[in-house]
Structure 1
Amino acid sequence: MTATTVSGAASLVQEALKAYGDDDAAAAVLRGYARRLAEPLRIAIAGMVKAGKSTLLNAIIGEEIAPTDTGECTRIVTWYRHGHTPRITLHPKTGEPRNLPLKRVDGRLVFVLGDVQAEDVDRLDVEWPSPMLQTMTLIDTPGIASLSEDVSARSTSFLTPEDTPSEADAVIYLMRHMHASDLRFLESFRDTEAGRSGTVNALAVLSRADEVGAGRIDSLLSAGEIAERYRRDHNLRKLALGVVPVAGLLAQSARAMRQQDFVSLQQLAGLDRADREKMLLSADRFLRSTSPESLTAEARASLLSRYGLFGIRLAVVLIRNGFDEPTPLAHELARRSGLDPLLDLLGRQFQARAEALKARTALVGVESLLRTSPRPGTEHLAAALERLQANAHEFRELRLLATLRTTGVPLSSELANEAEGLIGGWGAASHVRLGLDADATPDELSDEARRFLLRWRAVAENPLTDRSALDACRVVIRSCEGILAESSARQRHRQPA
C-alpha cells in the first residue's frame, strides 16, 4: 500500500469530518474510521456454534484467555487488543463501561460477569500483553446459525451490518464441513459494490481437522486433501483466499504447553507400544486405563481435554522420535496442528496488505455516508473518493483478484493463474508474487520481475489477446513495475556510497 493511498484515505476522512461536523452521529462514525486507520488490522473469527472459534483464537494469541466453554461469555462479541497491562472492560448496552476482575483458574482466564446477562452486554474489551496482538486486533464472535436467534443475530449484525462497513477489516471463517450456511455467511460478508472486493478479506479454516480421520495419526493429511478440494470449489474460491486445516485444540494446548503436560506425555511414551496403542483406541479406554501407575486419573482427564486423542498420539510419537524437551515438542506440535500454515497465510494475505484493507474499509464507510446522508457541498468528496478508488493501484489489484476468482478474464488458465499470483493472490510480498523463496536476493527479485514484465507486455501487445483482457494485463504490468522498482531500490541501498 503506497503512502499516497493511505494518506489519501486519511485526508478524505478528515474532509468528511469537516463537512459532517455538525452531525454528532456521523462525526462519531468518521472519527472511528480515522482511528481504524491508525490501529492494527481488525480480524474477526467467525463460524457456527462449536466450530472452535475461541480455541483457535487462543492458539493464535499463544495463551488461554478466550473462554471455550458454553457459558454466557461465548454469547458476547469480545475484542482482544494489545495492552501493557491485562484488563477486561465490560461495555453494557446502557450505562457506563466497567472493569471486570481478572481471575485465572488452572491457567485459564475466567471472565466474571457477576449478575450481568449476555443480552445486556454490547461487547467485552480484553487488553493483553501478547506480541501477536501488537499487529492485529482479534474479535471473537458468537456462533452463527445458533439455536438462539439472538446469539446468531449478534454475530450477523456485527459482521455484516446493513448500511455501514463491517467492524472487522477481515475475517477468519471456521467450518467443520462446507455447508450452505457457511457459503451464505461468506457471501454476505463479501463486498459487491464497485471498488470493493470480497475475496481479499476472508480466509476459511477447516476446523477440528483432527476429527476428520477419527483422531488417527494421519488425520491432518486427510484433512489437507479435503481442504484442497474445498479451496478449488468454485463457490468457495470466489469467497475466500484459501482454506487451511487446523486442529485447534492441539494448536491451543501446544502453544500453552505446561510442564505437567510434558511429564505426563513422557510417561506414556515410556510404555510398551502395543499396550499404549490399545489404551489409545478410545477416550473411554484411555481414561479407564491404570498404566502407567504414576499417571493419575486427573492427569489423564487433563491430557484428554487439552490435547484430545490425536494430540496425545502425536505427542507420544514425537517424544519417541527425539523431541524429548518441552519447547521443541511444543513447537513441533503447533506446526503439525496446522497453526503455522495459518499464521503464514495470515501474514501473507492480511498483514502484508493491512494498510490497503484498512483504507478500503474507511473509503467504503465514507461512500456509505455520502450515499445515505447526502448534503450540499460534498460533491468534491464524492469526486475525490471516486478518483482514489479508481486510481489507487492496490484497489485495482483487489478488483482484478475478485474478477479472476469469480467471472474470470479471457486469458488462458496458465496466464490467469500467473496473473493471480503477480497481483498478490497468494500473498502480497514481492518474493511470493514472483514465486521465489523468502531469502531471494534483490538481484534475483529484479531479474524475475523483469522477466514477468516483458512477458506481460508481450501479452498486452499481442493482437490475439482479447480486448476485454487488456485492463487485466495493465494491472499485472503495473504490479510487475512496482516489484521491479522496489527491488531496484533495495539494490541501490546495498551499494556503498
Structure 2
Amino acid sequence: MIEPGIDGVAGLLRQAREVFHDDPTALAVLNELEGRLEGPLRVAVAGMVKAGKSTLLNAIIGEEIAPTDAGECTRIVTWYRYGHTPRITLHPFIGEPQALPVTREDGRLVFNLGDVRAEDVERLVVDWPSASLRELTLIDTPGIASLSQDVSGRSKAFLLPEDAPMAADAVIYLMRHLHASDVRFLESFKDTAAGQSGTVNALAVLSRADEIGAGRIDSLISAAVIADRYSRDQNLKPLALGVVPVAGLLAQSSRTMRQSDFEAMKLLAQLDRRHRERLMLSADLFVRAAEPEGLGQAAKASLVQRFGLFGIRLAVALIRGGIGNPTELAHELARRSGLGQLLDNIAYLFQTRAAALKARAAVVGLEALVRSTPKDVALLLEANLEKLQAGAHEFRELKLLATLRTEGISLTPGQSAEAERLVGGRGSTLPLRLDLNPEASPEQISEAARNCLNRWRLLAENPLTEPAALEACRVVLRSCEGMLAANSPFARQPVR
C-alpha cells in the first residue's frame, strides 16, 4: 500500500522497480530519482554571462573553489557536493568517469581537463569537505545568452528539460539589471515539466550590486531600492520568489579573508580621509600610488581583485569605526554584502521545503517514465501515482506558497501572511507555523492550531469569499488539521 503524501514517493519508487525490473534504462532513471530523494537539496546558480555566478557560489560555500575566470571550465555544468575528502570527477558524454588532480594555486582550486575538450564533458563533480555543502548541493551553470550557442545550449538543456525533472530542485538566478532575456528564461523555467505543478522555485539575485552605485560606500542602499522595485515588477513577480541584492565579490572575499588583507586595510585606514579618497578615484590610480608606506603595488592589486573599491572603502570605514580584528571585520563585511540575506532566503524559501521539493522532482520523473511506457505495463503504477498526487497535501502547500508570494490572492495582507506561515512558508515545525515559542508545550500548540482552524473555517464558510481565496482557505484548513493530528497524544506517543 502506498502511504499518503510525500512519504509515499519512496514506496512508489520501490513499486516502479518491480514494474521495470528487466529494463536497465528505466532502472538507471529510478536509481537517480532515489538518490535525489535521499540526498541534499540541489540548488542551481544560473544567469547571463559575467553575472557573477561562480563568485556568488564561492561566497555561499565559504571557499574559493569555483573558477571565476573565463576558462574552459566555466563552460561546463559543475556540481559541488559534500565529501569527506576533496575529489574532482569528470563525467564525459561518452566513456567512463575519470578522476582529475586536485590542485590549488594561490588558494584557489584549479581544474585541469588534460586532453579532454570542454564540449565533450557532460559535467564535473567536485566533492569538498565544506559544512555549507552538507545540506545543499550547488550546481554552477554556464552563462545563458552566451555568444557561443554551445555554451548557452548546455545551460538551457540542463535547466529547461522538456519532459523530465530538472536536475536541480531550485534556482538562484543572477541578473545585473532586469532584462527581457531574464524574464524570458524565467518564463521558460516555469513552463518546464518541473514547473507545471504551479510551484515557483526561483529566487532572483541582483548581483554585483556594489557596481550600481559606482562602488560608493552607499551602493548597497541604492541596490536595495532597485531590488525592491524589481520584486514588485509585474513581469518578474509571478516568476521569482523575491529579489535579493548581493555584492558577490565582497561576499566571497569576506568569507575567505586573510590576515594580510586585514593588515593592509589597517594601513589604509591610517591615511587622511581626503587623501585616501583621492587615491581611490580609480583602481588604476589606487594601485600605482606610492602610499601608504608599507603597502606595495602587488598587495594593493590583490585587494582590488579580491574586494573591489567598494569593499576596500567599506572595510576601511568599519576599521575606523572601531572594528579591531579580522574575524569581526569578515563577519560584518559578509553581512553588509547581502550574503546573509541571501542565505536566509535560501533557508526560508527552499530548505524548509526540501522534502516536498525533492518529492515533487521524483514524481515528475516517474510521470515521464510512465508516459514513455506501454499503458498496460505500468497501469497500477500510474493509478497509484495519480492517487498520491491527489492526496499529497504538501504539493498543494507548495503551490499555494508560490501563489501567495508571486501573484497574490484576494485576502487581506494579514490573512495572506498568516496563510503563508500556516502552510510552512517560514519553516515546517509546528511552533514556526503557529508563530509560537520553539519551546511551546503540546497544549499551547493544540490551542493555537484550533484557534487558526476555527478562524479559517469561518472565512471559508463566508459566502463573500472569492473562489481563489476559498481554495486557499481549504489548503490552510487542511494544514491546521494536520498540525492538530501531528500534535495529538497518539501521534506523540513513542512506538513500542
Cα distance change on mapping 1:120 and 1:385 into 2, 3 Å = same
Shift of 1:276: 1.3
Instruction: Give a deviation string over 1:62-102, Cα, whole Å, max 9, x none.
Output: 00000000000000011111111101111122222211111
1:118 CA displacement:
0.7
Equivalent pair of 1:390/1:396 in contact (CA under 8 Å): no
Instruction: Find the residue that maps to 1:163 and give its secondary structure.
Output: coil
| Alpha-carbon shift at residue 429 of structure 1 (Å) | 5.1
Aligned to 2:21: 21
- Percent identity, aligned pairs only, is 65
Q: Which residue of 2 aligns with 1:189?
A: 189
SS in 2 for 1:99: strand
Structure 2 CA distance for aligned equivalents of residues 33 and 407 of structure 1: 31
What is the match of residue 392 of structure 2?
392
Look up the match of 1:464.
464
Amino acid at match of 1:277: E
For residues 194 and 323 of structure 1, the distance between their equivalents in structure 2, rounded to whole angstroms, comes to 47
Q: How many angstroms does 1:442 deviate by? A: 7.0
Which residues of 2 match residues 25-174 of structure 1 at below 5 A? 25-174=25-174
Deviates more, 1:36-45 or 1:295-304: 36-45
What secondary structure, in the 3-state scheme, does the structure 1 residue paired with 2:476 have? helix
Displacement after TM superposition at 1:436 (Å): 6.4
Preserved CA contact (<8 Å) 2:352 2:426:
no
- My pick for the range that moved more, 303-312 or 17-26, is 17-26
Q: Which amino acid aligns with 2:48?
A: M
Q: Deviations over 1:82-138 (max 9, x none)?
A: 111101111122222211111111111111112221101111111100001110111
Matches within 5 A, 1:229-268: 229-268=229-268
Find the aligned partners of 2:442 and 2:288 in 1 and give their Cα distance: 60
CA drift at 1:234: 2.4
Which residue does the alignment assign to 1:368? 368
C-alpha deviation, 1:190, in angstroms? 1.8
1:235 Cα deviation after fit: 2.1
CA contact (8 A) 1:199 1:240 kept: no
Residue 339 of structure 1 corresponds to: 339
Mapped contact 1:104–1:110 kept (Cα < 8 A): yes
> 2:61 and 2:195 mapped to 1: Cα distance?
33
Q: Distance in 1 between matches of 2:344 and 2:247?
A: 16
Tell me whether 1:419 sits opposite 2:415 in the alignment.
no
Aligned equivalents of 2:194, 2:51: Cα separation in 1: 33
| Unaligned runs of at least 5 residues, structure 1 | none
Is the 1:54–1:66 Cα contact (8 Å) retained in structure 2? yes
What root-mean-square deviation, in Å, do the aligned CA atoms of Structure 1 and Structure 2 show?
2.6
Mean CA deviation greater in 465-474 or 128-137: 465-474
Amino acid at match of 1:245: P
Cα pair 2:241 2:406 within 8 Å, conserved: no
Partners of 2:282 and 2:438 lie apart in 1 by 43
Task: Say whether the 8 Å CA contact 2:163–2:192 is kept in structure 1.
Answer: no
Cα distance in 1 for residues equivalent to 2:125 and 2:193: 32
TM-score (structure 2 length as normaliser): 0.92
TM-fit CA distance, 1:409:
4.0
1:333 Cα deviation from its structure 2 partner: 0.6
The answer for the alignment partner of 1:476 in structure 2 is 476
Residues 1:180 and 2:183 are matched in the alignment? no
Conserved 8 A contact 1:195-1:395:
no
How far apart are the structure 2 equivalents of 1:170 and 1:443? 36
Counterpart contact for 2:205–2:244, Cα < 8 Å: yes
Matches of 1:440 and 1:223, distance apart in 2: 39
Give distance in 1, aligned partners of 2:235 and 2:492. Answer: 45
Shift of 1:374: 3.1
Give the residue type in structure 2 aligned to 1:12: L
Contact 1:46 1:142 (C-alpha < 8 Å) held by counterparts: yes
